[in-house]
Copies of this chain bind each other. A is one copy, B any other.
Amino acid sequence: MNILITGGLGFIGSTLAIAEVKRGNKVIVVDALFPDYGGNKFNINQIKDDIEIEIGDVRNTTLMEKLVKGQDIVYSLAGTLSHVDSMTDPFTDLEINCVSQLTLLEACRKYNREAKILFAGTRNQYGRAKYLPVDENHPMEPVDVNGINNIAAEWYYRLYHNIHGLRTCSLRLTNVYGSRHQMKHPRQGVLNWFIRQLIDGKTVELFGDGSQIRDINFVDDTIAAFTLAADSPKSNGEVFNLGGDAVSLESFVKSAIKVFGKGDFKTIPFPAERKSIEVGDYIADRSKIKDKLDWEPRVNLESGLKKTFDYYLKYKKYYWK
């Protein structure tokens, strides 16, 4: 099969590219390599001779129209993830997360109506949980601009299925950690940031009392959900929660310290700009994707942490600065 991955030099995109090459598929990755967005050429080092790499912006209509032609699967993973950045620079978040998704869908509507198109949604669409675990019918009441733009983007995918007949699917990702995540700042995911702090011998700082529950996935499990959804007609027009281990941030850090063999942590008060958009505990109900696609996370926390530490200890120089 022919595969296009936007954001394909990023954390999840590059891991997907490696998985698709292993499946024997022909992969094109497109990535703008914007500073701080997570794209890193080293991420695809092991497959760099097997894939096509296009450095470009998903907001570029002409480029996207060219790239979608002839693809069997399109993974739309280019996006910004930062809650805080979306509040300080809402227009960029809107362009990258909303306008560019419409650009991709319009390109497919015009030039490739047969492709399966996968969107990476986010638990951030729900805002604060009104009940736990959160299922796909939970109200969406976002607490930051990033959540709003992802809601709109996901609706474009659903609409282009419902009205135009495109084969789209959205996976609402929860916190994902693992190899190939950028390690330069904490704004795209705090779990990998904790791991860097430990490797750097720094005291991990937890906001509040560290008791906030997050539902976390090791990246390989997330990738498995994407390829399952890509392959199954049962996912057409659907949205699915992903989820894995529900752990407090303190408990995650304690597990990381145990796996790494050293390190410590402390709690500090929430910074003001974080406090206002903190959503509290989150636990995903993942029964829908289990029922429909038979997906379950398979990598336990200890094993995922071990793989992550091993990766960064070996390839630190490609991620630290």
The distance from the CB of A104 to the nearest CB of chain B, in whole angstroms, is 12
Q: Does A118 contact B (CB under 8 A)?
A: no
Which of B91, B139, B143, B152 is in CB contact (< 8 Å) with A162? B143
A99 within 8 A of B: yes
A99 touches B106 (CB 8 A): no
A102 touches which of B94, B155, B162 (Cβ 8 Å): B94
Number of copies: 2
Q: Does A166 touch B at the CB level, under 8 Å? A: no
- Whole-angstrom distance between the Cβ of A148 and the nearest chain B Cβ: 4
Judged by a CB distance under 8 angstroms, whether A159 is at the interface is yes
Across-interface contacts of A149 in B (CB, < 8 A): 152
Tell me, rounded to whole Å, the shortest Cβ–Cβ distance linking A320 to chain B.
33
Q: How far is the CB of A118 from chain B (nearest CB, A)?
A: 19
Q: Closest Cβ of chain B: how far from A110's Cβ, in Å? A: 12
Q: How many residues of A contact B (CB 8 A)?
A: 25
Residues in B with CB closer than 8 Å to A99 are 91, 94
User: When each residue 83-100 of chain A gets 1 if its CB lies under 8 Å from chain B and 0 otherwise, what string results?
Assistant: 000010011001000110
- Does A156 lie at the interface of the complex (its beta carbon under 8 Å from any beta carbon of B)? yes
Interface residues of A in 69-117 (CB under 8 A from B): 87, 90-91, 94, 98-99, 102-103, 106
List chain A positions with a Cβ less than 8 A from chain B: 87, 90-91, 94, 98-99, 102-103, 106, 139, 142-145, 148-149, 151-152, 155-156, 159, 162-163, 276-277
25 CB contacts below 8 A, A to B, read: A90-B102, A90-B156, A91-B102, A91-B103, A91-B106, A94-B98, A94-B99, A94-B102, A98-B98, A98-B152, A102-B145, A139-B139, A142-B155, A143-B163, A144-B159, A145-B156, A148-B152, A148-B156, A148-B159, A149-B152, A151-B151, A151-B152, A151-B155, A152-B152, A163-B277
